[in-house]
Amino acid sequence: MKDVKNQLWDYVLLVREKSPLVENITNYVVMNNTANALLAIGASPIMAHCKDEIEELVKISSSVVVNMGTLDAAWIESMILAGETANKNSKRWVLDPVGVGASKLRNNTASQLLALNPSVVRGNASEILSAAKYDIVSKGVDSLSPSEAAIEAAVILQGQTNGVVCISGADDYLVDTSRLAKLSNGNPLMTKVTGLGCTATAITGAFIAVSEDTLLATAAAVSVLNIAAEVAITKSSGPGSLQMNLLDALYNLSKDDFLSLLKIEIQTL
């Protein structure tokens, strides 16, 4: 794993060096935080959603982030156009299907966006199960652990999008055509800060702009966030200070901390 770990660190350096321009159509709740997280890792965020300018902005960007958090009709049109434009211009893009499963609107929107084959789909287990339309009952999930079911769903979804699928949780799992990666960094207090999943998605946008290996780029993004949270938590007294210290830790993340804290396992499928 030493080579893989160094590979991921190289991506961290590449983001800092190349400062990729990342176009974000994301939700109102997290815009400030995800823009700040992108700046902290060295990327350059654009936060813009109007259909009239999406094509131009996607074309000048290195990659695109689409996050379904605070949906409405106009934004959905822009999200679809962003995915289509990214595809036409060979830009990679990441989809965060926030809340899919909670409403027909979210299910339909996720279906439309997934049909555009996002380079990466990142969500929690519930979202990945919903996005994959994984039928827990007929699959006999009683005999599977929750994470086994989610991984099965991720593999199905991966087969549909042909990209990377990332399940966030206490451990994070990533699948592509041939590999399953397990990442084991982070801290439970992260679930008490709104939108850190969205931040993982946004950072993934920056990393897939600097590497052809989408699974490893996503692994780097998720690990950077989780390791920064581990560093930040030592200085934090609760979710408020964690949110703030996390940005400092992302900005100051050192090679030593990254390599010594990183927990990654990769197996061939």
Q: Does residue number 238 form part of the binding site for a second copy (CB under 8 A)?
A: yes
Under rule CB under 8 A, which residues in 171-190 are in contact with a second copy? none
Angstrom distance (rounded) from CA 16 to CA 33: 18
Q: Which is nearer to a second copy, 54 or 264 (CB)?
A: 54
Q: Which of residues 182, 187, 251, 263 is near a second copy by CB under 8 A? A: 251
Q: Which of residues 6, 32, 89, 112 is near a second copy by CB under 8 A? A: 32
Q: Which of residues 36, 63, 185, 201 is near a second copy by CB under 8 A? A: 36
Angstrom distance (rounded) from CA 266 to CA 269: 10
Angstrom distance (rounded) from CA 166 to CA 61: 23
Helix, strand, coil % (nearest 5) of the chain?
A: 55, 15, 30
Letters for 42-71 (x = contact with a second copy by CB under 8 A, - = none) are ---xxxxxx-xx--xx--x--------xxx
Angstrom distance (rounded) from CA 98 to CA 195: 10
Q: Does residue number 91 form part of the binding site for a second copy (CB under 8 A)?
A: no
Measured CA to CA in angstroms, residue 157 lies from 26, 78, 117, 163, 237 at distances of 22, 23, 10, 9, 38
Q: Which is nearer to a second copy, 35 or 219 (CB)?
A: 35
Nearest CA among 80, 106, 105 for reference residue 93: 80
CB of 21 to a second copy, least distance (A): 10
Q: Which of residues 27, 63, 85, 204 is near a second copy by CB under 8 A? A: 27
Q: Does residue number 77 form part of the binding site for a second copy (CB under 8 A)?
A: no
What is the radius of gyration, based on Cα positions, of the chain?
Answer: 17
- Contact yes or no for 112/80 (Cβ under 8 A): yes
Q: Which of residues 180, 243, 258, 264 is near a second copy by CB under 8 A? A: 243
Q: Which is nearer to a second copy, 70 or 117 (CB)?
A: 70
Q: Which is nearer to a second copy, 33 or 168 (CB)?
A: 33
Angstrom distance (rounded) from CA 182 to CA 13: 22
Residue 182's DSSP bridge partners are 173, 265
> Which residues have a Cβ under 8 Å from the Cβ of 128 and sit 6 or more positions away?
121, 134, 150, 153, 154, 157, 165, 167
Q: Does residue number 246 form part of the binding site for a second copy (CB under 8 A)?
A: yes
CB of 133 to a second copy, least distance (A): 17
- The count of residues interacting with a second copy (CB under 8 A) is 55
Q: Which is nearer to a second copy, 206 or 250 (CB)?
A: 250
> Which residues have a Cβ under 8 Å from the Cβ of 227 and sit 6 or more positions away?
185, 253, 257, 258, 261, 262
Footprint on this chain of a second copy (rule: CB under 8 A)? 27-33, 35-36, 39-40, 45-50, 52-53, 56-57, 60, 69-74, 99, 102-106, 191-195, 236-241, 243-252
